[in-house]
C-alpha cells in the first residue's frame, strides 16, 4: 500500500473514534514523521508504541486518546498486522510462563529500581489497583484496598496466610500489624524481596524468592494480588491446583486480578516487549474453567474504574519527580513509562479491561458468604 493510502486509511479510522491528526484537542495526534502510518499498519500496537517512544508522534492526553480508540474496538478496524502472526504462533506452541521462565518478569519489570517505584507508588508500595470508594488520596485508596481484602478473607488473630506474589510486602505487613496474623509471601523479584524483608523486620512474616509451583504447607487464608496476570492460560489450572493444595478445607482464597472481556492467549505486543513479558489477562471463562471442580465462587467484585484513578495518580507522581528520576532513566524510558501508564488508564476508563476480586472456598462457606464492599 503506498504511503499516501496508509495515511488516508489512518485518518479515516481515527476519525471514526473522534480523533484528528494534527488537531488542537488534547486527544488529537500530532505527527512528526510521516513514516508513522505504514509502521502502524504493518506492526500494529507494537509499532504505535515504539514510534511514540521514538518521538514520531505526540498527544497531550494519551489517556483520552486510548479511551477513544478502545471504545471503538480499534484492533478490529486496523487489520494490517501480518507481522504479529509469529507472536500468536509462539504463544500457542510454547509455554511462555513455564517454571524456567518464572523469574524473567522480576528482572525485567520489578527490579528496574525501587527509586522509581518509591516515587510513583503510595507509602506502602502497593503496586495494584487502589479502592477509591471513600478515599481522597492514593495512600487512603491503597490502605482501603488492603483492608477490604483482609475483611473479605475474614482474618482473625493467629491465622496463617499466604500471599502469592507479595510484591514489596505491603499486604502481609498490613495484615500482620492490624489483624495479628502470621504470613508467608513469595515473589520472583530480588528487589521486592530485599525491600519487603527490611520493611517487615520484626513481624511474623516470612518472605521468599519462589515460584508458586514450589509452594507447600497449609494455610488458613490465601491471597494473590496482581500476580495472576503473569501465570498464562496454559498454567491457570496448575495455579489453582497449587492454591487448592495449600488451602485448608475451611479456608478462603481471594484472587485480585486484572481481567479481559475476551479469552486471549497472548498479550498486547508492546506490553509484552517493554513492560510485562510473558503476561496475559484472564477472562471470566478462563478463570471459571480453571477453578471447576476445585473451588466454589463465593463473590466476584469488579471495580475496574478505580484502576483508572490509580494509574492517573501514579502518572502524576512520576511527572512530579521526573527531575530526580531522569538522573537514572533516560527520556526514551520516560516516554515508554508515560505511554504505559496512560494507555492502561485508558483501557480501564473505556471498560476494555476489568479489575476483579474473587473470593473462593473449597467446600462452600457454611450458611453462605457475606459479600463485603
Active site residues: 344
Taking the C-alpha atoms of residue 194 and residue 191, their distance in angstroms, rounded to an integer, is: 5
Label each residue of 12-74 as H, E or C. HHHHHCCCCECCCCCCCEEECCCCHHHHHHHHHHHHHHHHHHCCCEECCCHHHHHHHHHHCCH
- The Cα diameter of the chain in Å comes to 69
C-alpha distances (whole Å) from 73 to each of 39, 90, 112, 261, 271 are: 19, 24, 32, 12, 18
Taking the C-alpha atoms of residue 82 and residue 233, their distance in angstroms, rounded to an integer, is: 23
Q: How would you class 144 by CB atoms within 10 Å of its CB: exposed for 0-12, middle for 13-18, buried for 19 or more?
A: middle
Q: What DSSP element (H or E) covers 319?
A: helix 305-320
Taking the C-alpha atoms of residue 63 and residue 339, their distance in angstroms, rounded to an integer, is: 9
The grid coordinates of residue 307 equal 484502576
Distance of CA 301 to the CA centre of its chain: 16
Taking the C-alpha atoms of residue 324 and residue 309, their distance in angstroms, rounded to an integer, is: 24
C-alpha distances (whole Å) from 59 to each of 1, 29, 87, 185, 336 are: 26, 5, 28, 40, 13
DSSP one-letter code for 34:
T
Amino acid at each position: 500500500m503506498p504511503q499516501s493510502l496508509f495515511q488516508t486509511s489512518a485518518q479515516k479510522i481515527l476519525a471514526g473514534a473522534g480523533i484528528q491528526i494534527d488537531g488542537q484537542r488534547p486527544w488529537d495526534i500530532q505527527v512528526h514523521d510521516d513514516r508513522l502510518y505504514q509502521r502502524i499498519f504493518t506492526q500494529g500496537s507494537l509499532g504505535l508504541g515504539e514510534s511514540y517512544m521514538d518521538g514520531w508522534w505526540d498527544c497531550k492526553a494519551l489517556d483520552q486518546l486510548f479511551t477513544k480508540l478502545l471504545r471503538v474496538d480499534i484492533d478490529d478496524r486496523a487489520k494490517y498486522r501480518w507481522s504479529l502472526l509469529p507472536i500468536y504462533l509462539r504463544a500457542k506452541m510454547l509455554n511462555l510462563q513455564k517454571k524456567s521462565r518464572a523469574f524473567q518478569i522480576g528482572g525485567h519489570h520489578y527490579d528496574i529500581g525501587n527509586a522509581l517505584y518509591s516515587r510513583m507508588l503510595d507509602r506502602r508500595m502497593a503496586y495494584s489497583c487502589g479502592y477509591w470508594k471513600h478515599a481522597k488520596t492514593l495512600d487512603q485508596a491503597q490502605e482501603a484496598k488492603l483492608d477490604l481484602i483482609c475483611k473479605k478473607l475474614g482474618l482473625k488473630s493467629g491465622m496463617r496466610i499466604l500471599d502469592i506474589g507479595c510484591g514489596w510486602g505491603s499486604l502481609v505487613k498490613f495484615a500482620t500489624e492490624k489483624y495479628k496474623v502470621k504470613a508467608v509471601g513469595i515473589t520472583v523479584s530480588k528487589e521486592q524481596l530485599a525491600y519487603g524483608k527490611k520493611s517487615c523486620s520484626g513481624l511474623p512474616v516470612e518472605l521468599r524468592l519462589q515460584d508458586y509451583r514450589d509452594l507447600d504447607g497449609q494455610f488458613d487464608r490465601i491471597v494473590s494480588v496482581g500476580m495472576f496476570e503473569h501465570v498464562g492460560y496454559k498454567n491457570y489450572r496448575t495455579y489453582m491446583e497449587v492454591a487448592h493444595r495449600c488451602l485448608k478445607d475451611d479456608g478462603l482464597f481471594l484472587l485480585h486480578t486484572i481481567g479481559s472481556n475476551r479469552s486471549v492467549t497472548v498479550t498486547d505486543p508492546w506490553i509484552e516487549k517493554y513492560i510485562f513479558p510473558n503476561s496475559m489477562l484472564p477472562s471470566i471463562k478462563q478463570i471459571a474453567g480453571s477453578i471447576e471442580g476445585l473451588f466454589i465462587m463465593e463473590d466476584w467484585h469488579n471495580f475496574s474504574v478505580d484502576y483508572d484513578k490509580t494509574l492517573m495518580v501514579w502518572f502524576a507522581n512520576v511527572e512530579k519527580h521526573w527531575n530526580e528520576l531522569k538522573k537514572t532513566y533516560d527520556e526514551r524510558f520516560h516516554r515508554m513509562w508515560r505511554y504505559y501508564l496512560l494507555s492502561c488508564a485508558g483501557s480501564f476508563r473505556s471498560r476494555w479491561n476489568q479489575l476483579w476480586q474473587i473470593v473462593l472456598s473449597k467446600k462452600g462457606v457454611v450458611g453462605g458468604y457475606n459479600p463485603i464492599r
